[in-house]
Amino acid sequence: AQRVTQPEKLLSVFKGAPVELKCNYSYSGSPELFWYVQYSRQRLQLLLRHISRESIKGFTADLNKGETSFHLKKPFAQEEDSAMYYCALNDNAGNMLTFGGGTRLMVKP
């Protein structure tokens, strides 16, 4: 069965510092990976997906199949980045999106 692990429950950085939210997965096939974000008092929403190789709000994430990782990175954190971040995996064979445990990012002024 697939699994998504986010080792850090809480990540606290200062404004302007680089940030990396870790995500590791276990899946034997070719995964589709996503990052979802939940800002305070807002609903959970898609941030970015690996296949698009996009940069959203300054965040990027690279799929590393060798390390089975999909870490989310931003070179200069902003206070408005403070939120709950979830890494998710779609096995592409079924209809279930598997989420990690989430990482709360706090960006301090």
Partner 1 sequence: NAGVTQTPKFRVLKTGQSMTLLCAQDMNHEYMYWYRQDPGMGLRLIHYSVGEGTTAKGEVPDGYNVSRLKKQNFLLGLESAAPSQTSVYFCASSWGTGWNSPLHFGNGTRLTVT
Is position 4 an interface residue for partner 1 (rule: CB under 8 A)? yes
The label of the residue with tokens 């079924």 reads: 94
Single out the residue of 44, 68, 69, 106 in contact with partner 1 (rule: CB under 8 A): 44
Is position 52 an interface residue for partner 1 (rule: CB under 8 A)? yes
Is position 97 an interface residue for partner 1 (rule: CB under 8 A)? yes
95 vs 109, beta carbon nearer partner 1: 95
Residues lying near partner 1 in the complex (CB under 8 A) are found at 4, 6, 9, 32, 34, 36, 43-46, 49-52, 86, 90, 92, 94-102
